[in-house]
Structure 1
Amino acid sequence: MCGIAGIALKDGHSISEHQKKILLEALHHRGPDGNGSWENSHVVLLHSRLSIIDIEGGKQPLSNDSQQVLIANGEIYNSPELRHLFKNYIFKTGSDCEVILPLWQKFHADYVNSLRGMYGVAMVDIDEKTLVLSRDPFGIKPLYYASVEQGVVFASEAQAIIKAGFVRHDDINQSAVDTLLQLQFIPGYKTIYNNIYRILPGETLIIRNGEIIHRQTQSCFPKTRSMITDEKKALNQLDSLLEDSIRIHERSDVPFGLFLSSGIDSSIILKMMQRLGRINRLHAWTARFEINNDSGYVKDEALQAASLAREIGIQHHCVTINQQDVFRHLPKIIACMDDPVADYAIIPTWFLANEARSIVKVILSGEGGDELFAGYGRYRKAAKSVWLGGKRLYRKGIFERDNFFLHSVSSEWQDYFRLQYKLQDKNDSRLKIAQKIDMNDWLPNDLLIKLDRCLMAHSIEGRVPFLDKKIAAFAFNLEDHLKIRNGQGKWILRKWLEWQFPLAQPFAKKSGFSVPIGLWIEQHANELAQAVFCQTDIGNKISLSNVRSLFEKASGRKERFMAWNILFYAIWHQVHIVGKNPLGNVLEVLMD
């Protein structure tokens, strides 16, 4: 895991040494183990390295004798297998990313079809005078770009482009702000900043003379249909695929650990790591929240997680988070979210990474299991016909009341998702369509941004074994009844745990686990409402009485999301737009 940045220049243009320095400094947290650079009259490449594989020899940029130069952020898990295909190619390092160079020579832009991994890639073909930018098909690794006067600038984080002076920090897209408040994330290729865009999951751009001349996309979904209907065969195939994916995700020259809940996904990863013999010196971290349990608001996962850890025989760390910790560190957490995601799971993720950083450089996590195997309750609704109460995803936003805001708000996000539904394959079931929509937007633009920023803020690489091409192909060829049955999602994963790790109690009714942010907002409703309202962009959107009334009821299910989204955006605006120092507590950052 690293940070990459650079620019494809228009003829006659250049960037200053100061801008290069700022780009690298802005990405230092992503790669504190060293910097590298390469440039000619057409392209500048910059790389900040977090050493995971070939610690001594894998410095970037990487190059070959055929006029290609490469920088990459990520891991190519099938690199050892791919190297065997190029027996006559002379590899200069042990870096997993070097195999991209001979793949480009053989396949050009289709090189990505051979890769299993997570990556943001920037590669120069000197002879063709082109820059190639590619992102993995799940969107695990971020990559942003902007078309500016000098050419096309790119970086692993949007904030690097802004700090280097290519785009104004206060030029924000108000329609995207409205979308963020309604959905907690921003879908598609647009960001909250005008003129900064995401390279989409699976997308490859080819740039010449500072202009994008070609785009193509690699899907994470299988091209062929081979429906899996038999439960026993499905379980055996799943077992083989899980073992293979987790085995290659464990390839590392540095210590790694696991974020462990009492849930399905992390329990599967833990059990498979035991089978593979990788539990020696393995550490796992679980979050719990210090709160009055009589409220019934929060259920603690730590006891069940500790029980699983003891059974497997690993070192388990319980990270206790209280209200004071959250309000003291929340501005710093939100400062990591340059591409804003108002998902309150950023809170435990950040605190877990903060604890893990002193022991490991790599964390395995269970993102993707819910999307691939239909774990969310919304999928059970989406799978039904309209006549039976079925509901499409993203029909409504978090703020359903039209009169909550002072002025009308953009409904661009609703048009976007109506279009996404129209673009789906009509031969797919309602469930698969809902899953694909989430895989295209919710997963990369909420969950994976959250994981990337919270871990990279602590210079930790996050790996997600469920987000593997082979597992995705298997999951999308499963019949719906192997995903949802008897009112429970992730049915085939539960059956695997019942078979391999019954202590995880996969069919037990889960008590639920949530950050008690709504309760904490409610307990400080008056002072938080006043402070939030003082933030100009909120004051222009919502009346003080509406903010106060909402915060006073913030422990309610719907009110919790609404209050948190407003608080998140108010702090985000103060830190990223106004420029307030995020080292203060919530009230200090919000109050002018």
Structure 2
Amino acid sequence: NKHSNYDQKHPPRSLPCRSQTSKDTLFDSPPVTTASPLPSPSSHSLPSSFPFSSSLLLSLSLIVFFVRFGDGCSFLITNKLLPSQGTQEFDRINFYLQKRGPDLTNRIFHRNFTFVHNLLSMTGAGFTPQPFVSEDGSVVALFNGEIYNFRDFGDFHSDGECLIPLYKKFKRNFVRHLYGEYSVVLFDFKKQIVVYSPDIFGIKPLWVATGGGYLGISSFESALKRAGHTKLEEADPNTIITRRILPPYEVLSRQTLHEFDTRQYKTSYDDWRQAFLEAVRIRIRDAKYRVLVPLSSGHDSGVIALAMKEIRKPFTTMTIVGREDPVILDERFKILKDYSISQVVDFGSDRGDPVITRETKYVNTYVEPYECDLYTSTGCRRDYPGTTTKGRVIDKHYVMLEDGAALGLAAIARQAKQNGTLVILSGCGGDEIMTDYGIGGVEVTRSLVHRFADFVTRNPGSSCLKGVWPKNLTKIFPWTNFFRGTQRAYLRKEEHVAGSFGLEARYPFLDEKVVQEYLWLAPELKNSAYKAPLSAWFQEAGFPYKDKKVGFRLYEKGGVLTFFDSLFSGWTKSTSVF
């Protein structure tokens, strides 16, 4: 029971934290950081001269708030000897990690392992340093992300404090009681094991290295490589791994974190809508400052803004001008004006534009790289996490640094950071769960040229559903993009780019209850319209929307395409940001 009460009398202690600037400085009360208030734009509407041809509109569903959930962070755990903190070599290892947690770097040596934790304070009310250590020193835990139900387990100051008490009560199954977006690592030195798990969809990155007689675990691949680790692998989503902490570090068990019910029987959108409202509400539960929701004319960001309006939570919209519908946007701004402040951000349209040049340089210099193979949907085979990819046909090779949406996200993140933003509420995952990037049997993320080539070569493309839900899900669930494929690739873009600015992302479309309610909808309802629950909500609320998929595109002046194809472009170079 993820919401059971747990009487915790002895919360785990944290070891003294060390200053990032001085490894010998110990302190009990870490410094306090605060964020500047958001500026007040002059207008809720689009400018009178809407710059279609000269600018690009990228709308990002961002929500900014300060909470008492776990602070944003990154970590590195290794039994290799690390350089001293403050040295150039240590800074090189910690380079990308530290940007994800710029407020405090805490490093301890315990039982032959070095634990490095970088923290981003989300509350402005002091730090909760990690790792967490049991009273007898036998159990050590770290995590990255947010645990939304931590208050159900006791009177804890921070969500991470519930991890060790839960482990003592539920053993290896403790992760199954967590509700949130996280990656968790827990060492039990008495049993000589480590238990680690990303959340259901693997939102927060987690890497493991077991080569050369050493064990390393980190938020980022680069830290392990730069520390000299080999035999690296990314932790599978929705999987709890228990591994020995002695060579050869064999896996003792693999457990499924969460099982979805694939029955399709509900004939109303009401339960899905309530689940989505609650998913948004819990992610802004302790908000102390105005929320930011950059806005498009499409579905995902639109329904987030609509949910914020119904929750009656003040927020700010941010929009980059480009291929969106200016009439729809202007109408949305007017409908939301009693609850939101609207900002329009110019991104430029030429590859030589100073903003694009700046963000290209930034992404290539300061953002953790990521790339992976994306496979075809041949046979719409069930693709559980951990399933071998041997024999699979590679459809595309995704390289995050070549994804133009990463540039748009960097521009938004830069402006958001200047506004005092710390958290992004992203629409990522909505396409993978609701349509698998298809409409009416057509994979919309492939250009007409790609579709013709697919027909000639009999390539089924990367989408299994293609926007059409079958009567029986058991034969295809989970499809490739549900847990892996584009789901993982685009989550890494969100996490790596936003994290490089010290921002944290939240994903209401990947809330387990929201996903389950969508799966439970009868196929007739899901097939009745594009993203049917959202379309029905818009129509009922009189909220304007564009009834098709429009992702981020980067144009040169005069309409010449650079990184992207035309309207239905290939997603190796075209990805919607939210």
TM over 0.5: yes
Q: In the alignment, which residue of structure 2 is the partner of 1:497?
A: 538
User: Equivalent residues in 2 for 1:174-573 (5 A)?
Assistant: 195-207=231-243, 208-210=245-247, 211-218=249-256, 221-222=259-260, 224-231=261-268, 234-235=269-270, 237-252=271-286, 255=289, 256-279=291-314, 282-289=315-322, 302-310=329-337, 312-322=338-348, 323=350, 324=353, 325-335=355-365, 336-339=367-370, 340-341=399-400, 342-358=402-418, 359-374=420-435, 376=437, 378=438, 380-381=440-441, 428-429=472-473, 433=476, 436-485=479-528, 488-499=529-540, 501-502=541-542, 504-506=543-545, 509-510=547-548, 512=550, 514-517=552-555, 522=560, 556=566, 561=570, 564=573
1:75 aligns with 2:116: no
CA distance in 2, matches of 1:511, 1:374: 10
Q: In the alignment, which residue of structure 2 is the partner of 1:547?
A: none
Q: Secondary structure at the match of 1:70?
A: strand
1:230, distance to aligned residue in structure 2 (A): 1.8
Deviations 1:17-52 (A, max 9, x none): 366554434311101111223332342221100112
Q: In the alignment, which residue of structure 2 is the partner of 1:31?
A: 101
CA distance in 1, matches of 2:262, 2:324: 42
1:77, distance to aligned residue in structure 2 (A): 0.9
Q: In the alignment, which residue of structure 2 is the partner of 1:65?
A: 135
CA distance in 2, matches of 1:133, 1:94: 23
Q: Secondary structure at the match of 1:357?
A: helix
CA distance in 2, matches of 1:111, 1:105: 8
1:519, distance to aligned residue in structure 2 (A): 6.5
Instruction: Evaluate the alpha carbon distance shift between residue 563 and residue 133 of structure 1 in structure 2; reply closer, same or farther with a 3 A threshold.
Output: closer
Query: Which amino acid in structure 1 is aligned with residue 538 of structure 2?
Result: L
CA distance in 1, matches of 2:111, 2:134: 19
CA distance in 2, matches of 1:43, 1:212: 18
Instruction: Evaluate the alpha carbon distance shift between residue 221 and residue 265 of structure 1 in structure 2; reply closer, same or farther with a 3 A threshold.
Output: farther
Deviations 1:253-293 (A, max 9, x none): 664422322222222222222333321xx22212213xxxx
CA distance in 2, matches of 1:25, 1:100: 27
Q: Secondary structure at the match of 1:345?
A: helix
Query: Which amino acid in structure 2 is aligned with residue 228 of structure 1?
Result: Y
1:459, distance to aligned residue in structure 2 (A): 0.7
> Do 1:53 and 1:94's aligned partners in 2 also have CA atoms closer than 8 Å?
no
Q: In the alignment, which residue of structure 1 is the partner of 2:376?
A: none
1:131 aligns with 2:194: yes
> Do 1:57 and 1:94's aligned partners in 2 also have CA atoms closer than 8 Å?
no
CA distance in 1, matches of 2:115, 2:331: 47
State the identity %. 21
Deviations 1:448-490 (A, max 9, x none): 11111121121111111121111111111112222221xx321
> Do 1:143 and 1:198's aligned partners in 2 also have CA atoms closer than 8 Å?
yes
CA distance in 1, matches of 2:566, 2:429: 28
1:321, distance to aligned residue in structure 2 (A): 0.5
> Do 1:30 and 1:48's aligned partners in 2 also have CA atoms closer than 8 Å?
yes
Instruction: Evaluate the alpha carbon distance shift between residue 343 and residue 520 of structure 1 in structure 2; reply closer, same or farther with a 3 A threshold.
Output: farther
Instruction: Evaluate the alpha carbon distance shift between residue 392 and residue 496 of structure 1 in structure 2; reply closer, same or farther with a 3 A threshold.
Output: closer
1:74, distance to aligned residue in structure 2 (A): 0.1
CA distance in 2, matches of 1:110, 1:416: 37
Unpaired runs of 5+ residues, structure 1, are: 84-90, 168-194, 290-296, 383-390, 403-410, 526-550, 566-592
CA distance in 1, matches of 2:263, 2:296: 33
Query: Which amino acid in structure 1 is aligned with residue 361 of structure 2?
Result: P
1:374, distance to aligned residue in structure 2 (A): 2.3
Unpaired runs of 5+ residues, structure 2, are: 1-70, 371-398
CA distance in 2, matches of 1:122, 1:466: 25
Query: Which amino acid in structure 2 is aligned with residue 442 of structure 1?
Result: G
Instruction: Evaluate the alpha carbon distance shift between residue 465 and residue 353 of structure 1 in structure 2; reply closer, same or farther with a 3 A threshold.
Output: same
Deviates more, 1:101-110 or 1:351-360: 101-110
Q: Please, what TM-score do these two structures have when normalized by structure 2?
A: 0.69
Instruction: Evaluate the alpha carbon distance shift between residue 397 and residue 456 of structure 1 in structure 2; reply closer, same or farther with a 3 A threshold.
Output: farther
CA distance in 2, matches of 1:118, 1:247: 15
Instruction: Evaluate the alpha carbon distance shift between residue 489 and residue 427 of structure 1 in structure 2; reply closer, same or farther with a 3 A threshold.
Output: closer
> Do 1:221 and 1:476's aligned partners in 2 also have CA atoms closer than 8 Å?
no
CA distance in 2, matches of 1:274, 1:555: 35
Q: In the alignment, which residue of structure 2 is the partner of 1:122?
A: 185
1:41 aligns with 2:111: yes
> Do 1:3 and 1:48's aligned partners in 2 also have CA atoms closer than 8 Å?
yes
1:445, distance to aligned residue in structure 2 (A): 2.1
Q: In the alignment, which residue of structure 2 is the partner of 1:6?
A: 76
Q: Secondary structure at the match of 1:259?
A: coil
Query: Which amino acid in structure 1 is aligned with residue 333 of structure 2?
Result: A
Deviations 1:185-223 (A, max 9, x none): xxxxxxxxxx4321111223323214132342435551x
> Do 1:3 and 1:49's aligned partners in 2 also have CA atoms closer than 8 Å?
yes
Q: In the alignment, which residue of structure 1 is the partner of 2:216?
A: 153
Query: Which amino acid in structure 1 is aligned with residue 267 of structure 2?
Result: D
CA distance in 1, matches of 2:566, 2:299: 27
CA distance in 2, matches of 1:441, 1:80: 31
> Do 1:287 and 1:302's aligned partners in 2 also have CA atoms closer than 8 Å?
no
**Corresponding pairs, count:** 455
Query: Which amino acid in structure 1 is aligned with residue 339 of structure 2?
Result: G
1:107 aligns with 2:170: yes
Instruction: Evaluate the alpha carbon distance shift between residue 260 and residue 151 of structure 1 in structure 2; reply closer, same or farther with a 3 A threshold.
Output: same
1:417, distance to aligned residue in structure 2 (A): 7.8
Q: Secondary structure at the match of 1:49?
A: strand
Instruction: Evaluate the alpha carbon distance shift between residue 99 and residue 429 of structure 1 in structure 2; reply closer, same or farther with a 3 A threshold.
Output: same
CA distance in 1, matches of 2:572, 2:506: 31
CA distance in 2, matches of 1:374, 1:116: 25
RMSD of aligned alpha carbons: 3.8
Q: Please, what TM-score do these two structures have when normalized by structure 1?
A: 0.67
CA distance in 1, matches of 2:440, 2:233: 33
Deviations 1:109-145 (A, max 9, x none): 2112111111111222121222222101111111112
1:15, distance to aligned residue in structure 2 (A): 4.0
Instruction: Evaluate the alpha carbon distance shift between residue 466 and residue 555 of structure 1 in structure 2; reply closer, same or farther with a 3 A threshold.
Output: closer
